Amino acid sequence: MIIRDFKEEDLGEVEKIFSTYWTDPEFLEETSRELYKFIDQTKEAKRRNYRFFVAEDRGKVLGIAGMRSAPDHMKVYTKTPDPVEFYISAVKKGHRRKRIGNTLRVRRLEEAVKLGYTEVVLYSPDSHKESWIFHDRHGFKRVGPAVAPDGEPGMIWRKEL
């Protein structure tokens, strides 16, 4: 398995993976727009804006994970001056518990350190509670409950780098 930057030709597979976890059409459209923005960015812009990585095995995309400079609504949960948000992560059904999510997490942490971020913050909605233990097990500390801008309740985690 390799972890690499997301490419335009991955879009169809990534959208299928997302649609197995999220059913909100607005969220899915927004995520696709962000993927297109990533494709269109110059290398310099990618440095501090959205970054998306895919896990690939034998030419098949098995997972995706994104990160971005923490938006203002997430900065209220941080303690350091330059936080990054681990924005989205999903592993293809049938491939969970194969360390794909962990490998994507490690790659994002390495990239965050390389780019000079000082902390990671992430949000997970109540509808994805099955993933919460993953964050707890990998050194992220629960900050507490929060409500996303779209009104969905969830939990916030943080980790200083």
Residues contacting 84, CB < 8 A, separation 6+: 67, 68, 69, 70, 112, 115, 117, 119, 120, 121
Domains of the chain: 2-160 (3.40.630.30)
Produce one character per residue of 39-58: b if its CB has 16 or more CB atoms within 10 Å, e if not.
Answer: beeeeeeeeeebbbbbbbee
pLDDT digits (tens, 9 = 90+) for 82-133: 999 998 888 998 877 788 999 999 999 999 999 999 999 999 999 889 889 9
pTM comes to 0.87
Nearest-angstrom CA–CA distance, 9 and 26: 22
